[in-house]
Amino acid sequence: MAPNRTILRWSTHSAKRTAICSTSCRWTAPVRLPDTPLWVVVRCSSSSLIRSSPSNRWRRSVSTSTLSAFATCSSRRCDDDAPRLVHQHAANSLGSRVSSEYRDSFDQAASLGLFPAQLAESLKPSVGMRNVLIHEYVNVDLALVSKAIPLARDQYGQYVRSVAEWVAKQGVPPMNPFTSQVGDWNGSNGFRMMPTDPLSTGESRAHSAAEADSWGWSLRYTWMHPDDGPQSGTLLLAAPESDGTITAAWLDSWHQKPGLRLLTGTFADNTAALEMECDGWFWRISVEATADELRMLMHNVIPDGFEGHEPGPYVVMDAHWTRPGIAAIQH
């Protein structure tokens, strides 16, 4: 079967997870979610509770007129069937229906305004490749697949964010924007003390995780100081407030100790921009995320009147990480 005509099929060896509402609503289709937390819309009565297998985490949200229960899965033994299920349940809540056929569901979901039509068009070709890989229909050229995976993952990340934005518009409280960027990361970090110094680059690793039932997100990182050796730090981000502001707590074995410092800022375009003041100086931390990459920049902002240096920000730390599997493909 040609990849671009592959229809979704259940894999006999995949783990099947079933959710059943405790009232009249019943959802018994096998549900296999991706390895990143993803809202799944379950249309049940407002009094419904959701039960699941022990491997999943389910959350009950504030009831709305059409959507009353949402769920998120943190299991890593999952594939990409969630988009079709999200399309169907979201469409049902709007009084419409979306095809059960995977490729058509992208166009029909886009027609309902769940995400742009251009994004739907770019996602459809990757569906055939995904099915070929998961169900082993044919022998594939792994070299070509390795080149396509980063693009497909990035496009799928756009899809997840688009659905999350749509869900947020239905009245669901905002979650931390980085909760789908969880796991281990490998990369490097550049450090310098003053703006005239060159960046000293060393190995860096990081681990990110959802915190407080996905209302927070933590980033634990290591880096190498050229003179003082191995260092580490932790950044804890909270979910956005109603006005879009975010807060964070930061601790670093070289930059910030012994106490925590609090930073405030905003989140836009997949980037958290944070800032704090200390005796007229400012310190900025920004975290930018895609599906498979994280970048953290730290700027020191020189105030007016500091002799020998131009006022303004300069980079002190520049960390860039990728997921271990992606780094292996790129090398």
Residue 24 in any domain: the answer is no
Of 120, 147, 170, which residue constitutes the final position of a domain? 170
Residue 281 in any domain: the answer is yes
Do 77 and 157 have their domain in common? Answer: yes
Torsion angle in degrees (nearest 10) through CA of 238, 297, 252, 255: -130
Do 160 and 112 have their domain in common? Answer: yes
Do 254 and 198 have their domain in common? Answer: yes
Cβ contact 168:67 at 8 Å: no
What are the C-alpha distances in Å from 114 to residues 23, 172, 323? 28, 15, 28
Do 81 and 161 have their domain in common? Answer: yes
Beta strands in 10-55 (DSSP E): 19-21, 26-27, 40-42, 50-51
Tell me the helices (H) and strands (E) count for the chain, helix number first.
5, 16
Cα separation, 115 vs 25, whole angstroms: 27
**Phi, psi of 62, deg, nearest 5:** -65, 135
Do 224 and 153 have their domain in common? Answer: no
Q: What is the DSSP letter of 136?
A: T
Residue 7 in any domain: the answer is no
At residue 233, the pLDDT reads 96
Cβ contact 300:170 at 8 Å: no
Q: Find the CATH number of the domain harbouring 316.
A: 2.40.128.20
Instruction: Please tell me whether residue 166 adopts helix, strand or coil conformation.
Output: helix
Q: Hey, what amino acid is at 230?
A: P
Cα–Cα nearest to 296, from 206, 175, 228, 231: 206
Tens-binned pLDDT, residue by residue, of the chain (331 aa) = 333 322 222 233 333 333 332 222 333 333 333 333 333 333 333 222 232 333 333 333 322 222 222 333 222 223 344 455 555 555 555 555 544 455 566 676 677 666 667 766 766 665 555 554 444 444 555 566 566 666 666 666 666 666 666 666 655 455 677 877 888 999 999 999 988 899 999 999 999 998 988 889 999 999 999 999 999 999 999 988 877 789 999 999 999 889 889 999 998 888 999 999 988 889 999 999 887 899 999 999 988 877 777 888 999 999 999 988 654 444 4
At residue 109, the pLDDT reads 65
At residue 159, the pLDDT reads 66
Cβ contact 98:88 at 8 Å: yes
Residue 113 in any domain: the answer is yes
Residue 234 in any domain: the answer is yes
Range of the domain at 224: 183-322
User: Domain total for the chain?
Assistant: 2
Half-sphere exposure of 276 (CA within 13 A, CB side): 14
Residue 262 in any domain: the answer is yes
Do 134 and 210 have their domain in common? Answer: no
Instruction: Please tell me whether residue 186 adopts helix, strand or coil conformation.
Output: strand
